[in-house]
Chains A and B, each alone.
Chain A
């Protein structure tokens, strides 16, 4: 169980995290979402005692992380796959960490096997690809067999097979009763993995709820209609109060009316429809809509 309470971090005049409160429960995969610069990494770093909060608390099972002795046995974390010394081999890197926590030597071989790096265990990390480094980071997180796991952008650099493997791993870890907290700036990644979402923007909480509830938040769903009589139908729909835009030849996008009502109108006026489809907002769109106001670095906008 991770508890974040009124957590705030200020860097000079910048509020990186502002009064953030949420809870991450065991047995579930919880996604931690937000645009770039939303404060996700800062929050995770404060959870791990790497950065000191300006105010507020972040605890893991009721304790501050810095009060724990052997961190790996309590919390496994992958913050940045680059947080390694490139001159060491994967095996040496992991065995130094295992020794610091008094973990048996065989754990190193076990986690290397689990992440698929057993064959390159003796090679220098400097020669690893980003995907291999991510796997090494995941191996580090699993080393102490911890009840709580934190992953910051773990999918970066993984190939499609690796992405599938990571998703299954997260599901399995959660099914074993562990707390799994995974940050990402990509909503689509969480759609397939997470049970719950904590969404932040500009350091503030936007949502803390189940994935389905979150998706239902997207308000601007639309209906696409294809008909030979676009002009007639458009006129009819407009009188019913709908907003109609033409998408080109024989195709309309309608907002403000349900697909059922559009079909009914067409039927009464003997208009032929070739297609009638409700376009439900995806998780991605719900996310974009909710974080639109809080994007820190927006492309193509005058400053």
Chain B
């Protein structure tokens, strides 16, 4: 009888694990709602912003017009905060949802190699959120610039600064989602993880304003939302000391999700479930 003897262990193929996590994400109705409604909301906010700016354009002071950054309406600061909040919640749900329902035990009974499971989750979440970010940034860009073109010269997508700004808009979502996953791996509790992600990613950096103490500014410069607002999203970032630099900002954008992935993998691998 062939079933009586144990077959040689076959490694779980990462391609199969991706397919499994993809199925899990898209078999929940909430995924369609959160991502669909969220994307439409972001695009609508951008168009509304552009319309408001256009209608007030003639009343604006000369220097305000000169300083106007056409990229600021693609993804406004409140939209960026909301985007990070939503994206981090998706990351939280993908991890904490499994722990709080107990599904995690079924998952690890099917695939005992937990680090591979984490890798597949990270891939699917980061890929999906990057796609969402790119869709939001691209559509918002073209729609808002079309509206703005009636009063001021729009910017071209081919401009390197424009591409950098759009890339930073698109990356906010995957960065926040991976941080959300790490926080959920640490706390394992959905509500606590959503609140913690919100505090760390959005609320705390929203209060930051440049100070006269360089070491405080250095701390501020380590937060993704802060460097996005004060550097990456701007067409022409301020290049004074203590302000975040473009290179430094990209390092922050890379470091947070990387640390998040490592934390998630190590904690999920070590802890009992």
Chain A residues touching B, majority SS: loop
Q: Which of B5, B97, B110, B272 contacts A100 (CB 8 A)?
A: B110
Q: Which of A48, A60, A95, A102 contacts B6 (CB 8 A)?
A: A60
Q: How large is the interface on B (under 10, 10 to 19, 20 to 34, 35 or more residues)?
A: 35 or more
Residue of B with least CB distance to A67: B9
CB distance from A50 to the nearest CB of B (A): 5
Report the bound CA distance from A83 to B98 in whole Å.
9
Q: Which of B4, B23, B104 contacts A147 (CB 8 A)?
A: B4
Q: Which of A60, A82, A100, A178 contacts B4 (CB 8 A)?
A: A178
A84–B103 CB distance below 8 A: yes
Q: Which residues of B contact A23 (CB under 8 A)?
A: none
Q: Which of A50, A63, A99, A178 contacts B109 (CB 8 A)?
A: A50
B101–A83 CB distance below 8 A: yes
Q: From known contacts A85-B98, A101-B111, infer whether A70 and B12 are also in contact, taking CB-CB under 8 Å.
A: yes
Report the bound CA distance from A93 to B23 in whole Å.
9
B10–A26 CB distance below 8 A: no
Interface residues in A, total, Cβ within 8 A: 50
A70–B10 CB distance below 8 A: yes
**Does A284 count as interface, using CB distance less than 8 angstroms?**
no
A178–B110 CB distance below 8 A: no
Q: Which of B7, B19, B27 contacts A92 (CB 8 A)?
A: B27
**Does B106 count as interface, using CB distance less than 8 angstroms?**
yes
CB distance from A77 to the nearest CB of B (A): 5
Residue of B with least CB distance to A64: B112
Q: Which residues of B contact A77 (CB under 8 A)?
A: 109
Q: Which residues of A contact B27 (CB under 8 A)?
A: 88-89, 92-93, 96
Q: From known contacts A85-B103, A86-B101, infer whether A67 and B112 are also in contact, taking CB-CB under 8 Å.
A: yes
B23–A99 CB distance below 8 A: yes
- Chain B 90-121: CB-based contact to A (< 8 A → 1; otherwise 0): 00000001100111111111111100010000
Q: Which residues of B contact A26 (CB under 8 A)?
A: 4
Q: Which of B4, B13, B17, B102 contacts A83 (CB 8 A)?
A: B102
**For window 7-55 of chain B, which residues contact chain A by CB distance below 8 Å?**
7, 9-13, 16-17, 19-21, 23-24, 27-30
